[in-house]
Amino acid sequence: MQVLKMLRSFRYAIAGLHFLLAENNARFHLLSAIIVLLTGFYLKISAVEWTIIIMQIGLILAVETINTSIEKLCDFVSVEYHQLIGKVKDLAAAAVLIVSIVAVIVGIIIFLPKILSKF
């Protein structure tokens, strides 16, 4: 019985992923992740570097998921513009921006020396 409940919850999570990937920003992050992963294979990054890169990708996708959830909830609560709802949506978007900037910095730290050594 518990196993069925657990499997059902995975089904809901998979449905959430499908919903997330319908969003343009999430598709952009996924495309960026694929490019980063391919670059990692090409540059033969270390296991520690892989761990850091994968954690960054997971963090961005998780925060993007939370941002999308907050935006959809705000849209449901208030179809008309409300200043406080606008601030909430801006804050959620800022969270994605912050983790994305950090991920870019991490990517530069990991990839730039390897790319420069190729020249």
pLDDT in the model for residue 92: 97
pLDDT in the model for residue 83: 93
Taking the CA atoms of the chain, what radius of gyration do you get in angstroms? Answer: 18
Active site residue 80: no
pLDDT in the model for residue 7: 81
What is the pLDDT tens value at each position of the chain, 119 positions in all? 688 888 888 888 999 999 999 999 999 999 999 999 999 999 999 999 999 999 999 999 999 999 999 999 999 998 888 899 999 999 999 999 999 999 999 999 999 999 999 88
Given the residues 23, 64, 71, 80, the one annotated as active site: 64
Distance, in Å, from the CA atom of 112 to the CA atom of 89, rounded to the nearest integer, reads 34
Per-residue three-class SS string for 3-40:
HHHHHHHHHHHHHHHHHHHCCHHHHHHHHHHHHHHHHH
For residue 119, count CB atoms less than 10 angstroms from its CB and return exposed for 0-12, middle for 13-18, buried for 19 or more. exposed
**Single-letter code of the amino acid located at 80:** E
Domains and CATH numbers, the chain: 2-117 (1.10.287.3610)
